Amino acid sequence: MISLRGLSKRYGDRTAVDDLSLELRPGTVTGFLGPNGAGKSTTMRMILGLDRPTAGVALVGGLPYHEIRDPLRTVGALLDARAVHPGRSGRAHLLALARSNGIARSRVEEVLETVGMAGAAGRRAGALSLGMSQRLGIAAALLGDPEVLMFDEPVNGLDPDGVRWIRHLMRSLADEGRTVFVSSHLMSEMQLTADHLVVIGRGRLIMDAPLAEVIARSSLTAVVVRSPHAGDLSVRLSAAGITVERRGENELVATGTGLEQVGDLAHEAGIRLHELSAREASLEQAYEELTAGSVEYGAPRARV
């Protein structure tokens, strides 16, 4: 469990993280989303005790990081895959970590196996591909078999196989009851991986909700109805407080409602339907709407 309470960080007159309060639950993959510079890495660094909050606290299992007795066994993290001594082999890096944290040598071989790099563990870290470095970083995060795992952009630079592998790993870690917190700019990937989403912009919380709810709240998620009496149906739906857009002679697009409500209202009015279907926004679309006002560094968005 990770708890943030009023977590804030200022660098000079710049507010990187602004009064974040949330709880990240075990058994869940929580995706951490936000435009460049939104404050995701700073938040993760504060959770790991690498940055000191200006105000508020970040707790892991109820304690601030520096009070955790056995940090590596409590929280594992991949922040920067290249932050490994380049002259050391992957195995030597893990063995050093294990030794300084009282973790058995046999665990090093176990995690090397888990991340699929047992064969490459003797290579110098500096000579590893980005994908292999990511795997080594994940092996280090898993070393202490922690309850909480945090990954900052773990799929950056990975090929499709690597991306799929990370997706399955996150899922199985959460299924084992761990708290998994992962930042990413890859919306299609997050849509496949995350159960829950935390979206921030300019350091502030924009959304903290299950993935399904984020998608359902998008204006692009809608009910599409075709009926020979679309005009009458439009009046009935509007009267029920539903936002309806007429599309041609026979088609309506209704938002802020569900299939059941539209179907029931049509039935009550005795209106025949030729189609009743759900149109679901992609996470990418939902995310664009949510963060439209918070993008600091970006080209103007193309209108589509």
Residues that bind ligand ATP (CB under 6 A): 11, 14, 16, 34, 36-42
38 or 206: CB nearest ligand ATP: 38
Residues in CB range of 164: below 8 A, 6 or more apart: none
Rounded CA separation 246/158 (Å): 44
Q: Cβ distance 187 to 199 under 8 Å? A: no
Q: How far is the CB of 83 from ligand ATP (least distance, A)?
A: 15
CB atoms within 10 A of CB 58: 22
CB atoms within 10 A of CB 82: 13
21 or 36: CB nearest ligand ATP: 36
Q: Cβ distance 8 to 53 under 8 Å? A: yes
40 or 135: CB nearest ligand ATP: 40
Q: How far is the CB of 39 from ligand ATP (least distance, A)?
A: 4
Three-state DSSP at 37 gives coil
Q: How far is the CB of 113 from ligand ATP (least distance, A)?
A: 31
Q: How far is the CB of 43 from ligand ATP (least distance, A)?
A: 7
147 or 152: CB nearest ligand ATP: 152
Six token digits for residue 101: 């944290």
Q: How far is the CB of 214 from ligand ATP (least distance, A)?
A: 18
Rounded CA separation 30/133 (Å): 23
175 or 296: CB nearest ligand ATP: 296
